[in-house]
Amino acid sequence: MDLNREQTILVVDDEADLCDILRYNLQMAGYMVRTANSAEEALERGLDGIDLILLDVMMGEMSGFDLAARLKADPLTSRIPIIFLTARDGENDVLKGLGIGADDYISKPFSIREVTLRVKAVLRRSGQSLPAAPNNIERYKGICVDIDRKTVSVDGTDVPFTRTEFEILLLFIRKKGKVVSRAEMIQKVWPDDVLVMDRTVDVNITRVRKKISPYSSSIVTRSGFGYYLENE
């Protein structure tokens, strides 16, 4: 059975023709596809059953950045992977998108093959995790990582994590006391067919630190080598 057929992609773009092109090609690749021509329409239709969102940045009153920030702030939608599709490919825009919690950022114009491959890579990453501990729970100080439920709690309070952030935190906990280089992190967290810059790693680690406050200082930067999580 093709697992892709169980996965539904939401395309949000104010260009109706582009939505139609993406829908056709993604359906040909085996995915179910829904479309919306504005952020407001996407919210009105609801996000139940959505496995990934392809999201344009420049749209109407609510931009793609605004919609992504809203979804990432809501525990019910925070774990839906988001790939931005946009003509705004400056470094500041890319970093803003990643800072909000996007899983990837594709600049227009793009090839359909590129989009399909990146969708596949993000979905594969979102469906994978590092090998689970026997009880499927990892703990560090006041942090509890539930591998089965894909949740993180800090001092008893659930904190929304993206899939990338979740796997970075899990990697740190399982290798606590040992330096993890950026290269090792890219190899273990991101798929091989996705180009990841060192800056992308740093941005994700900054987000993890913020989310595990008051334990953010436990992730230590070792200049020239990488990062490590202090022993308890």
User: Looking at residue 101, which CATH number applies to its domain?
Assistant: 3.40.50.2300
> In this structure, which long-range contacts are made by residues 189-192, counting pairs with CB atoms below 8 Å and at least 24 apart in sequence?
189/125, 189/164, 190/125, 190/164, 191/121, 191/124, 191/125
Last residue of a domain, one of 94, 126, 158: 126
Assess if residue 167 is contained within a domain: yes
Residue tagged 């001092």 (tokens)? 155
Assess if residue 132 is contained within a domain: no
Last residue of a domain, one of 85, 106, 126: 126
Element (H, E) at 9: strand 8-12
> In this structure, which long-range contacts are made by residues 221-227, counting pairs with CB atoms below 8 Å and at least 24 apart in sequence?
222/179, 225/179, 225/181, 226/179, 226/180, 226/181, 226/182, 226/184, 226/185, 227/172, 227/179, 227/180, 227/185
Residues 14 and 108 in one domain: yes
Residues 83 and 179 in one domain: no
Question: What angle, rounded to 10 degrees, do the helices at 163-174 and 182-189 form?
Answer: 120
Assess if residue 26 is contained within a domain: yes
Assess if residue 117 is contained within a domain: yes
Q: Give how many domains the chain has, as a whole number.
A: 2
pLDDT in tens, the chain (232 residues): 334 445 889 999 999 999 999 998 898 888 889 999 999 999 988 888 899 999 998 887 888 889 999 998 888 888 899 999 887 666 677 787 788 888 888 888 888 888 999 998 898 887 644 444 445 788 898 898 988 888 898 888 889 999 999 999 999 999 999 999 999 999 989 887 778 898 999 999 999 999 999 899 999 999 999 999 998 7
Residues 56 and 146 in one domain: no
Assess if residue 149 is contained within a domain: yes
Structural domain harbouring 198: 137-229
Residues 217 and 150 in one domain: yes
Record the pTM. 0.55
Last residue of a domain, one of 126, 151, 175: 126
d(CA 225, CA 177): 14
Residues 122 and 141 in one domain: no
d(CA 90, CA 111): 19
**Per-residue b/e over 65-86, b at no fewer than 16 CB within 10 Å?**
bebbeebbeeeebebbbbbbbb
Residues 111 and 169 in one domain: no
pLDDT at 130: 43
Contact, 173 vs 140, CB < 8 A?
yes
Residues 82 and 157 in one domain: no
Residues 95 and 171 in one domain: no
Assess if residue 11 is contained within a domain: yes
Residues 109 and 142 in one domain: no
Assess if residue 131 is contained within a domain: no
- The angle at the Cα of 68, spanning 128 to 84, to the nearest 5 degrees, equals 70
Query: Residue 220 maps to which CATH number?
Result: 1.10.10.10
- For residue 33, the cross-strand partners are 9
Assess if residue 93 is contained within a domain: yes
Residues 141 and 122 in one domain: no
Residues 20 and 115 in one domain: yes
Residues 153 and 42 in one domain: no
